[in-house]
Amino acid sequence: MVFVKAQKSKAYFKRFQVKFKRRREGKTDYRARIRLINQDKNKYNTPKYRFSNKDVTAQIISASIAGDLVLASAYSHELPRYGLQVGLTNYAAAYCTGLLLARRVLKTLEMDGEYEGNVEATGEDYSVEPTESRRPFRALLDVGLLRTTTGNRIFGALKGALDGGLDIPHSDKRFAGFSKDGKQLDAEVHRKYIYGGHVSAYMGMLMEDEPEKYQSNFSQYIEKGVEADSLEEMYKKVHAAIRADPLPKKVEKQPPKEHKRYNLKKLTYEERKAKLIERLNALNSAAVDDDDEDED
């Protein structure tokens, strides 16, 4: 008889612990998160802010015992308010979202006057310098489970936040335009990505080589009247509009619609009592009428 060893006994399954829900869903890397928010004992409960971005959603979040607290957030679906109607998920839109987040949080903390950041995006690496009165707002980049490849959109949002005036420890090795062979950042290439130059070049190539594919891929651009040559000027206007008014716009919520009821409304005690009295009065009046008819 062959002896078979039980690899997972009953004791194993009794001690088995299920992983956290967001880890099972593949949303949170808790190994990286605990190292990101870990603090010394003498700085207990001091907010440690981080900058996170997912699908052009940028947030400034601090971790506390009660849970995460969101100080400010910016989304790419807000960009049409500033003049960017199309292409809300590319590198240039991610830059605009990061810039919007930086200006918004500094405006909220009344630091936008001291730290204007890099007003004109040149593509070169930029780090904010502290002033005499207040230190710059410091945040940490939280990439989550995203792959940190060179030219990823998250680094476009990071560049926008840096140019907006936030102090974020970083390296220029992952910005679009960094050469692995030359080991330096090509500012011209990076500037082209910030102002949508790569999209403009692709639009021009499709217009010449494959007009049908251009009609299908850039149908929204054609509908809005956005041309390849006007992209850079459009993004410059968007950057200026963001700096002029970065605060979120309050949207008035419409009252909820009244749903049709398919069951009877529950009556209160007073309503049931009044309804019973009404029925009794109706029965009494009907009985009196019958008696009158019999007498006649």
Going from the first residue of the chain to its last (296 residues), give the mean pLDDT of each consecutive group of 10, the final group possibly shorter.
74 89 89 81 63 74 84 91 91 94 94 91 92 89 85 92 93 91 91 94 92 92 91 94 92 82 88 94 85 70
Q: Tokens 């410059």 belong to which residue?
A: 236
Q: What is the pLDDT of residue 32?
A: 85
Other C-beta atoms lying within 10 Å of the C-beta of residue 80: 13
Q: Tokens 């039980």 belong to which residue?
A: 6
Element of type H or E holding 278: helix 269-295
Q: Tokens 């792959």 belong to which residue?
A: 147
Q: Give CA–CA dist 91/147, Å, rounded.
A: 15
In 3D space, the residue among 69, 70, 143, 146 whose CA is nearest the CA of residue 101 turns out to be 70
Element of type H or E holding 60: strand 57-63
Q: Give CA–CA dist 109/4, Å, rounded.
A: 67
Q: What is the pLDDT of residue 142?
A: 86
Q: What is the pLDDT of residue 36?
A: 81
Helical pair 197-209 and 187-194, crossing angle rounded to 10 deg: 70
pTM, rounded to two decimals: 0.76
> Residue 186: which region, alpha, beta or left (left: phi > 0; alpha: psi -120 to 50)?
beta
Q: Give CA–CA dist 98/118, Å, rounded.
A: 13
Question: Residue 75 — φ and ψ, nearest 5°?
Answer: -130, 150
Other C-beta atoms lying within 10 Å of the C-beta of residue 66: 6
Residue type at 273 in one-letter notation: K
Q: What is the pLDDT of residue 29?
A: 87
Q: In what order do the strands lie in the sheet with 68-75?
A: 68-75, 57-63, 49-53, 140-142
Q: How far is CA 234 from CA 121, 130, 191, in A?
A: 14, 31, 14
Q: What is the pLDDT of residue 272?
A: 94
Q: How far is CA 156 from CA 115, 125, 171, in A?
A: 20, 12, 13
Q: What is the pLDDT of residue 51?
A: 59
Torsion of CA 211, 213, 215, 219, to 10 degrees: -150
Is 185 in a helix, a strand, or coil?
strand
Q: What is the pLDDT of residue 144?
A: 80
